[in-house]
C-alpha cells in the first residue's frame, strides 16, 4: 500500500533532550516535506527536500534539522527541543514539486509532540 | 492527533444540504490551489485542485471555484454526508517549491 509512515505517533519529552521523528515513503517520491500544525495557524512548512541530499528551509525552520540521505527517508531532528515546539507534525511527499504538473502531496498520520 | 477546534471557523450543515467552504488567499501570483480534508486523528487528504487559468473545476460531489479578482477560493460539497465532517484546508502554490496552507474550517454535519 502506498503510504507515508512517520514515527512515533505520540512523543512526550523534556526540554533539551534531542529527538528524531522518522518519515518514510514507499512511492519513490522525489519531494518530501515537514509541516507543523498549531491551533488557528494551519499547516506551516518547516523544511522540504527536492531530492536526495537537497534540502531547503520552509517558513519556520528555526530549531529543526533534516537530512535526506536516501530517497525514501526524511527524518526531522530537534537537537534541543523547547516547549514552543510542542505541536502536531506531519510529513508529506509527492512525486515532484507540489503544483508542478499537478503533483499531489500525500501526508503521513502525524506525530503529536509535547515538550515539557 | 486531534485538531483543536477552538480557534477554527466552523460551518454546521444539515445532512443532505450543500456546503460551501470559503478561503481567501494572499498572493496574486499563486497559480495552483488545492483543497485538503483532514479527519480527526489523520493527516490531510487531497480532495481537488485547480489551476489559475480555470475558474471552476468539478469532482465527485465537490466543486472548486476560483475568483482571481478578489483572491477567493471556495469548495462546494453537494448533498453533504456525515462522512464529510472534517477540517478543510485550502492551499496555494506561490513560491514554486512550497505550498502555503490556510488556517482551516471545521465542517460539522448534523444528522
pLDDT of res. B18: 97
DSSP B53: T
Is B3 at the interface with chain A, CB within 8 A? Answer: yes
What is the b/e burial string over A21-37, where b = at least 16 CB atoms within 10 angstroms of the residue's CB? bebbbeeebbbbbbbbb
Nearest to B65 by CA among B27, B22, B105, B108: B22
Looking at the predicted structure, is the pLDDT value of residue B2 above 60? no
**Distance between CA atoms of residues B47 and B37, nearest Å:** 7
Model pLDDT for residues B17-58, shown as the tens digit of each residue: 999 999 998 888 888 999 999 999 899 999 999 999 999 999
Beta bridge partners of B21: B75
Is B43 at the interface with chain A, CB within 8 A? Answer: yes
Q: Strand A10-13 to strand A111-115: parallel, antiparallel, or no bridges (unpaired)?
A: parallel
Residues of B in contact with A42 (CB under 8 A): 89, 101-104
pLDDT of res. B5: 39
Is A17 at the interface with chain B, CB within 8 A? Answer: no
Confidence bin at B6 (pLDDT 50/70/90): very low
pLDDT of res. B4: 34
Q: pLDDT 10s per residue in chain A (116 long)?
A: 879 999 999 999 999 999 999 999 999 999 999 999 998 788 999 999 999 999 999 999 999 999 999 999 999 999 999 999 999 999 999 998 887 766 789 999 999 999 99
Task: List the single residue in B with minimal CA-CA distance to A96.
Answer: B97
Is A109 at the interface with chain B, CB within 8 A? Answer: yes
Is A23 at the interface with chain B, CB within 8 A? Answer: no
Model pLDDT for residues B62-79, shown as the tens digit of each residue: 999 999 999 999 999 999
Hey, are the CB atoms on A42 and B89 less than 8 Å from each other? yes
Among B98, B103, B105, B106, the residue to mutate for chain A (most A Cβ within 10 A):
B98
Is A98 at the interface with chain B, CB within 8 A? Answer: yes
pLDDT of res. B3: 36
- Cα B84 to chain centroid, rounded: 12
Amino acid at each position: 500500500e502506498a503510504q507515508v509512515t512517520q514515527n512515533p505517533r505520540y512523543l512526550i519529552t523534556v526540554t533539551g533532550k534531542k529527538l528524531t521523528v522518522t518519515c518514510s515513503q514507499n512511492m519513490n517520491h522525489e519531494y518530501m516535506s515537514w509541516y507543523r500544525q498549531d491551533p488557528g495557524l494551519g499547516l506551516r512548512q518547516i523544511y522540504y527536500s527536492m531530492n536526495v541530499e537537497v534540502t531547503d528551509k520552509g517558513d519556520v525552520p528555526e530549531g529543526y534539522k533534516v537530512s535526506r540521505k536516501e530517497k525514501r527517508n526524511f527524518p526531522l531532528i530537534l537537537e534541543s527541543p523547547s516547549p514552543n515546539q510542542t505541536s502536531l507534525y506531519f510529513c508529506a511527499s509527492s512525486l515532484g514539486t507540489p503544483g508542478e504538473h499537478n503533483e499531489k502531496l500525500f501526508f503521513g498520520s502525524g506525530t503529536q509532540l509535547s515538550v515539557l | 492527533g486531534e485538531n483543536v477546534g477552538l480557534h477554527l471557523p466552523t460551518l454546521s450543515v444539515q445532512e443532505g444540504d450543500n456546503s460551501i467552504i470559503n478561503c481567501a488567499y494572499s498572493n496574486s501570483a499563486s497559480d495552483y490551489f488545492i483543497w485538503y480534508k483532514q479527519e480527526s486523528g489523520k493527516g490531510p487528504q487531497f480532495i481537488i485542485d485547480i489551476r489559475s487559468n480555470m475558474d471552476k473545476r468539478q469532482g465527485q460531489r465537490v466543486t472548486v471555484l476560483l475568483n482571481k479578482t478578489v483572491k477567493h477560493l471556495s469548495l462546494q460539497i453537494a448533498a453533504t454526508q456525515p462522512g464529510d465532517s472534517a477540517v478543510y484546508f485550502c492551499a496555494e502554490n506561490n513560491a514554486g517549491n512550497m505550498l502555503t496552507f490556510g488556517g482551516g474550517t471545521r465542517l460539522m454535519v448534523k444528522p
